[in-house]
Amino acid sequence: MKIQESAENYLETILIIRQRKGYVRSIDIVNELDFTKPSVSVAMKNLRENGYISMDEKGYITLLEKGEEIAQTMLERHVMLTKWLTQLGVDEQTAAHDACRIEHVISKESFEAIKKHVSAT
């Protein structure tokens, strides 16, 4: 199932914040992405309604199975593509920015080839 790039970014951000802090609330996403509270609220509602996240009564966000899977995939792609681009001589900030854009459009086949190549070097 293909979801929008923005949803993939939100799911990846939730995972990153969870890894760093151990928990995630909407305000953490607002601060991380520098988005408005209403924008994040709408996005969390959409992710919740589509079964990617759950939110408890205290506002703590949990990735559900399909949300976790997408978040892990995006993060793996981001890390690997950033590493590859820096190995090619791209400065780290540009590499991370470009990796964030590429991670959403690259095919599984192409990503696996890059991953294999980077792991071999």
The answer on 77 and 63 residing in a single domain is no
Q: Are 71 and 11 in contact (CB under 8 A)?
A: yes
pLDDT of 2 reads: 58
The domain that holds 113 is classified in CATH as: 1.10.60.10
> Is the pLDDT score of 119 beyond 50?
yes
The domain that holds 41 is classified in CATH as: 1.10.10.10
What is the tally of structural domains in the chain? 2
Tokens 């890894």 locate to: 19
Q: What domain range includes position 89?
A: 73-120
The answer on 55 and 13 residing in a single domain is yes
Q: Predicted confidence band at 1 (pLDDT cuts at 50, 70, 90)?
A: very low
DSSP 60: B
